[in-house]
A and B are shown apart, each in its own frame.
Chain A
């Protein structure tokens, strides 16, 4: 396993994802991808589903990837990597690998649309079959690549272009789908929620994931400057608000049952501070809709209690 001393060394080591890409300034995707790739020195076989990451990093005749990479469609990044992993196993059995002493890791990236919605069946299939792969969801809670439509990851009260806030609507009506719990329920050996601002926590989880045998799911909170509506320089600050308010609690689930909370904020900040930092929740700070802020806080508190109980009970 790769040893990492400090952030400076980490950020410059084994750079297989080039800074030359078309992602928005302040996009957390590039930070997360670099953290995932730099967590290992192993060879990597990568896939991406259609989405911001894909369209911004492989625009012919250029590529931002210095590792083998494939994109097929919006829904099947997981299965593309599963197919490559099957080929690796076949060629290993047949003794036809070009570099038989090197063991590549197989990783698929998808946004929340590709993960929570259109690609859900494919991911579920891959996990049921037990492919030796890591699936990383870059969860920015919105269809950002197509211009800000709601997904089943979009949180309640968020204003998205297909669930806009207006005179008679506070925006998105549904609660965010609990993808982490669903993937853990597949019995995956390792499932974790991570955030780019907590890089040491992220690296530890990615390394655990790569060490596991079987399908690994990583849900990475990816603050979206364009759709969450904050300034590009505030990505990490907004991410800090998310993890310190416990809107995005950081935890892992091992073998579907053993839940460990991996970050406990010293000072838990109010959810109001997280919501107030983003334009997508601006309308919640009006007389008409402000009751939702209290509901948000109640729900986040309840989730935190539930996670702690699960951690304690080992279920």
Chain B
């Protein structure tokens, strides 16, 4: 039996250590991992727990991220709780196996500490890796700070391992901005945390020697379509209610409330930004200041990236007259992903509004409060004119001549 660890009610943890503590408290059976900045400290933390008797699962230090997820898939198919962590290039190397994990309906929790993709090589935060895997069939939750990184791991295990869901889940947090920034984190005791996640109940486990199973079959045009459709159907219809259930249960347990879509000052907002990660909290600060000057600004923070919460997002934005979608990834020849998804969501909901795309923070560039004030000023100008007065797509905080498009 692993030794339990006494925690204070509030510990000063960075996002990486918070995630590592959650893996320890969930008593993960197998972690197969390969280190990469800025997520390295998650697996280092887990290795330390193992070295000191705080976990009794297996820690497999594989030779690449692709092997990390391959090992996780084998372990999950064998029947047990499985987790790992990665970032950026490592995530990119993993992408092939991400599709295998979700296609085989295996519960695995992957902590993704978001980081830019090279070239140029860059270890700092943006959401390029997150965007890369957005169609891989995983549940994707977004943490804005170390507290969220801790709490959302428990939610991720609970939802992912639910027999109605059986889909892997990612917990995203911003590289360095969350992963390396220490804050006071409200903790759960080992017992309370483990009981929330619950004992793992295997399904179709390879190690049930009396009931052999075949995982990862071949399907061609005769069945592939049906498998993918069922997987999508599970994501679209089953996951959001289960996440809501888990959020409610977690609130009862901890007093901390999470929502599928987080809103700030949105009840009467005229203008709003939609964003993810650490910029959500910066935007909340800016909105508080703008409200003091009489500007009705608000923030919509995406909490659940996949499945995309169409209804909740449309509902949050239905009365807003000008919206900025904040994309932390190079759009590389298109409008940003967040812009596109918000646009599609609003169009289908019949919401007539002015939507613009702000690209920001690539490779760790700061998004300052001044940048956000400028964005809200743009949005206000658009609202007042009743039409777009600014370019449809702009790069925020870029040195040199201003780049804008359309």
Q: In the complex, what distance in Å separates the CA atom of A120 from the CA atom of B125?
A: 32
Chain B CB within 8 A of A87 CB: yes
Q: Are B75 and A87 in contact (CB under 8 A)?
A: yes
Chain A CB within 8 A of B7 CB: no
Binds B, one of A30-38, A63-71, A292-300: A63-71
Known contacts A84-B77, A104-B207: does B70 contact A122 (CB below 8 Å)? Answer: yes
Known contacts A84-B77, A104-B209: does B97 contact A76 (CB below 8 Å)? Answer: yes
Contact partners of B223 in chain A: CB under 8 A: 60-61
- Tell me, rounded to whole Å, the shortest Cβ–Cβ distance linking B388 to chain A: 46
Q: In the complex, what distance in Å separates the CA atom of A86 from the CA atom of B70?
A: 12
Q: Are A45 and B78 in contact (CB under 8 A)?
A: yes
Q: In the complex, what distance in Å separates the CA atom of A129 from the CA atom of B61?
A: 8
Q: In the complex, what distance in Å separates the CA atom of A68 from the CA atom of B208?
A: 9
- Tell me, rounded to whole Å, the shortest Cβ–Cβ distance linking B157 to chain A: 16
- Cβ-neighbour of B218 out of A58, A79, A88, A129 (below 8 A): A58
Known contacts A58-B214, A94-B56: does B207 contact A86 (CB below 8 Å)? Answer: no
- Cβ-neighbour of B210 out of A55, A59, A99 (below 8 A): A99
Q: Are A70 and B56 in contact (CB under 8 A)?
A: no
Chain A CB within 8 A of B267 CB: no
Chain A CB within 8 A of B217 CB: yes
Known contacts A67-B212, A72-B97: does B67 contact A79 (CB below 8 Å)? Answer: yes
Of B57, B208, B209, B220, the most chain A CB neighbours within 10 A belong to: B209
Q: In the complex, what distance in Å separates the CA atom of A228 from the CA atom of B53?
A: 55
Q: Are B67 and A122 in contact (CB under 8 A)?
A: yes
Residue of A nearest to B62 (CB): A125
Contact partners of A244 in chain B: CB under 8 A: none
Chain A CB within 8 A of B398 CB: no
Contact partners of A76 in chain B: CB under 8 A: 66-67, 70, 97
Q: In the complex, what distance in Å separates the CA atom of A210 from the CA atom of B125?
A: 47
Residue of A nearest to B29 (CB): A90
Q: Are A73 and B96 in contact (CB under 8 A)?
A: yes
- Cβ-neighbour of A83 out of B32, B208, B217, B219 (below 8 A): B32
Q: Are B75 and A84 in contact (CB under 8 A)?
A: yes
Q: Are B207 and A129 in contact (CB under 8 A)?
A: no
Chain A CB within 8 A of B18 CB: no
Contact partners of B212 in chain A: CB under 8 A: 65-69
- Cβ-neighbour of B216 out of A61, A71, A81, A83 (below 8 A): A71
Chain B CB within 8 A of A13 CB: no
Contact partners of B100 in chain A: CB under 8 A: 72-73
Chain B CB within 8 A of A93 CB: yes
Contact partners of A117 in chain B: CB under 8 A: none
Q: In the complex, what distance in Å separates the CA atom of A122 from the CA atom of B219?
A: 25
Chain A CB within 8 A of B71 CB: yes
Chain B CB within 8 A of A102 CB: yes
- Tell me, rounded to whole Å, the shortest Cβ–Cβ distance linking B309 to chain A: 30
Q: In the complex, what distance in Å separates the CA atom of A309 from the CA atom of B60?
A: 38
Known contacts A84-B78, A87-B74, A90-B58: does B216 contact A58 (CB below 8 Å)? Answer: yes
Residue of B nearest to A58 (CB): B217
Q: In the complex, what distance in Å separates the CA atom of A107 from the CA atom of B358?
A: 52
Residue of B nearest to A45 (CB): B206
Q: Mark B305-336, 1 if CB is under 8 A from A, else 0.
A: 00000000000000000000000000000000
Q: In the complex, what distance in Å separates the CA atom of A102 from the CA atom of B212?
A: 14
Q: Are B214 and A98 in contact (CB under 8 A)?
A: no
Chain A CB within 8 A of B299 CB: no
Of B71, B72, B213, the most chain A CB neighbours within 10 A belong to: B71
- Tell me, rounded to whole Å, the shortest Cβ–Cβ distance linking B77 to chain A: 5
Q: Are B32 and A86 in contact (CB under 8 A)?
A: yes
Question: Which parts of A207-229 form the interface with B (CB within 8 Å)?
Answer: none
Q: Mark A115-149, 1 if CB is under 8 A from B, else 0.
A: 00000011011001100000000000000000000
Q: Are B63 and A124 in contact (CB under 8 A)?
A: yes
Q: Are B218 and A98 in contact (CB under 8 A)?
A: no
Contact partners of A176 in chain B: CB under 8 A: none
- Cβ-neighbour of A73 out of B97, B214, B227 (below 8 A): B97
Contact partners of B219 in chain A: CB under 8 A: 59-60
- Cβ-neighbour of B30 out of A55, A87, A102 (below 8 A): A87
Contact partners of A58 in chain B: CB under 8 A: 214, 216-218
Residue of B nearest to A66 (CB): B212
Contact partners of B74 in chain A: CB under 8 A: 47, 70, 72, 79-87
Chain A CB within 8 A of B90 CB: no
- Cβ-neighbour of A87 out of B96, B207, B215 (below 8 A): B207
Chain B CB within 8 A of A233 CB: no
Cross-chain pairs A/B with CB under 8 angstroms, 30 sampled: A63-B217, A65-B212, A68-B207, A68-B212, A68-B215, A70-B215, A70-B216, A71-B216, A72-B73, A73-B96, A73-B100, A79-B62, A79-B70, A80-B70, A83-B60, A83-B72, A84-B207, A85-B74, A86-B74, A87-B207, A88-B207, A89-B58, A90-B30, A90-B80, A93-B57, A94-B57, A122-B66, A122-B67, A122-B70, A129-B61
Which residues of B approach A to under 8 Å, CB–CB? Answer: 29-30, 32, 56-58, 60-64, 66-67, 70-80, 82, 96-97, 100, 205-210, 212-220, 223, 227
The 10 closest A-B pairs by CB, nearest first: A83-B74, A125-B63, A83-B71, A87-B78, A68-B206, A76-B70, A80-B74, A71-B216, A83-B75, A79-B70
| Other 19 A-B pairs with CB < 8 A, given A68-B214, A84-B77, A96-B80 | A47-B74, A55-B218, A58-B214, A68-B208, A68-B213, A72-B70, A72-B74, A73-B97, A76-B66, A79-B70, A83-B32, A83-B73, A83-B78, A87-B74, A90-B30, A91-B79, A98-B207, A98-B208, A125-B64
